[in-house]
Structure 1
Amino acid sequence: MRVEVLGGIERRRRWSRDEKMRIIEETLAPGAVVAEIARRHGIATSLVFTWRRQARVASGPSTVVHLVPVRIVPAEALAEKAPSMESPSGGPVRKRRGLIEIKLGDGKSIRVDENVDAEALGRVLDVLGRR
């Protein structure tokens, strides 16, 4: 347990930008629980969420969501383009349902099926969007 004594008239703890960013980064880790992280640092959960919101706003227009044109094609058309796959046992692999192909601006594409983790896909697209 950490105890911090604040002297003088000021009764609030001041957090440096680096300290705030370190705490925010902790909350972005997979499986992180904001309430536990806030409790460990002796601050209110709402303050951590406020810092996260402020960091998103401060990061500027690069975090703005952009709409892109979408063309829906039959699954059969995608299946014809996809290389045939076999399972390790030698039998055919079950057809993937809900296949989505995302074409990036540099000619590369990403294919995901209905079982994709939306948060993980969002992080991947976010990283690729910065390149």
Structure 2
Amino acid sequence: MSDGSRGEVISVVQRRRRWTTEQKLALIEETMCPGTSLAGVADRHGVSRSLLFEWRRQAREGTMPGLVPPEAERSPSLVPVHLVDGSPPEATSPAFTHPEQPVRDTAGVEVVLRNSRILRVSEAIRPEVLRRLAAALEA
């Protein structure tokens, strides 16, 4: 006997979402903002928390597909340099000096990245630190 009601099956087929390297890096950058939680960023953008943790690890280790690791960056090229007046950045962080060199008052260097962000550092910054900073900010 039938009571006239019919059952309805609703199924949703979710396909895997493809994230570009730029999108991944934008989400990673968002997780690093002060007061922002990784869980909140993941929930807001519909990405699993574990995947976002994995992307952060890959970016940190330079193993993210599509992300050029610092040691594989293209060879140095000539870029325009403009001298500007202004006080140099503080050179008190250990990242800015070699351990055997005393901290000194140094001139500042301003780097305008391809994405128009400006990176101001001491001329005493270690090249590998500058390379990592520039790569992170250009992403």
Is the TM value for this pair above 0.5?
Answer: no
Which TM-score band applies after superposition, normalised by the shorter structure?
Answer: 0.3 to 0.5
**Normalising by the residue count of structure 2, what TM-score does the alignment of the two structures yield?**
0.41
Higher normalized contact order (CA 8 Å, seq sep 6+, divided by chain length): 2
More helix by share: 1
TM-score, length of structure 1 as denominator length = 0.43
